Amino acid sequence: MAEFDAATLLVDRNLALELVRVTEAAALAASRWIGRGDKNAADGAAVDAMRKAFDTVAISGTVVIGEGEMDEAPMLYIGEKIGLGGPEVDIAVDPLEGTSITAKGGPNAIATVALAERGGFLHAPDIYMDKIAVGPGLPEGVVHLDAKPEENLRELARAKKCSIGDLMVCTLDRDRHKDMIAACRKAGARIMLLGDGDVAGVIAVSQPDTGVDIYMGSGGAPEGVLAAAALRCIGGQMQGRLLFENDEQVSRAREMGVTDPKRIYGIYEMARGNVMFAATGVTGGPMLHGVRRSATSATTHSIVMRSKSGTVRYVEAHHNFALKPAAFVS
């Protein structure tokens, strides 16, 4: 059992719920753009609303995973200081994870935020990361990024006391995963292919309802850190390795503190110490409902969790447009 410190507990608990307001604001703004074929407008609306929502949160936050560098992103750029003032924390954001799916009205787009104590997050550059993740309650090291897909599936099936045919692999539907997908199918596993949205894909391994047993494949490195923060709270194992396509990316990563470009990061190296994670569904998926709107109101569905307590909370919020600041509902 953890030590009881009422003051810290209160701050942490309140903060976790504040984070939901931030992802709700981003999701509500993005929901205006569902299916309208303009992913940049959807993304811009989410970023704008999330940035404004942070102004009301009692933290002294520094964005470490964000929308890019100061000169290329006007808001939520890496290094930006956000919040009203309060505990010193690092922030990772993806205001709209799944911009293309939102533009097409497809499933699984979320607005997401994670928070760590200062220095808690891997400073991941905006490149690809190779990822593997499984849910809680399995022997440590049951799967490994360097093992072949069929070996990982064999070990996972053994640990879960099932056959490979019972396992569901989740990955992004990309040409670069062709060989891995073929290997999984050859081994007899089933595969769920995602159009976008590997943060939700990784989190799915820790949620029995989704039917996903293992996530494999490459996606955004910032999304990898966000997913690691979520799994720190909800349980599960994850490994990630940055994938560099050229020397410029390597030197960029070095500037951000990455000393060994080949390193395999464990979940605690991507998200250390106390972390919190929140996400609100923009379009519906197996984990979260999407935003449902009427002329005068909207309903949002969010998940919020803290690594310290391990509590996972689902929050259904009913928003009355007449009583909300216009900035969050337009």
Annotated binding site for Mn(2+): 43, 67, 94, 97, 223
Place of tokens 């995963």: 177
In the complex, the smallest distance separating the C-beta of residue 172 from ligand VTB, rounded to whole angstroms, is 6
How far is Cα 209 from Cα 229, in angstroms, rounded to an integer?
Answer: 20
Which lies closer to Mg ion via its Cβ, residue 39 or residue 319? 39
In angstroms, the Cα distances linking 170 to 150, 201, 202 are 14, 6, 8
Site string for Mg ion, 95-124 (x = CB under 5 A): --x---------------------------
Which lies closer to ligand VTB via its Cβ, residue 80 or residue 223? 223
Q: Is 198 in the site for ligand VTB (CB under 6 A)?
A: yes
- Of 1-9, 78-86, 92-100, 246-254, the window that binds Mg ion (rule: CB under 5 A) is 92-100
Which lies closer to Mg ion via its Cβ, residue 97 or residue 130? 97
Nearest to 305 by CA among 231, 239, 236, 238: 231
Q: Is 61 in the site for ligand VTB (CB under 6 A)?
A: no
CB-based burial, 174-183: b 16+ in 10 Å, e otherwise: beebeebbeb
Binders of ligand VTB among residues 215 to 274 (CB under 6 A) are: 219-220, 223
How far is Cα 102 from Cα 112, in angstroms, rounded to an integer?
Answer: 14
Site string for ligand VTB, 80-119 (x = CB under 6 A): -----------------xx---------------------
Residues of the binding site: 43, 67, 94, 97-99, 128, 174-176, 196-198, 220, 223
How far is Cα 47 from Cα 53, in angstroms, rounded to an integer?
Answer: 10
Say which amino acid occupies 124. A
First to last CA, the chain: 45
List of residues contacting ligand VTB (CB under 6 A): 97-98, 172, 174, 196-199, 219-220, 223
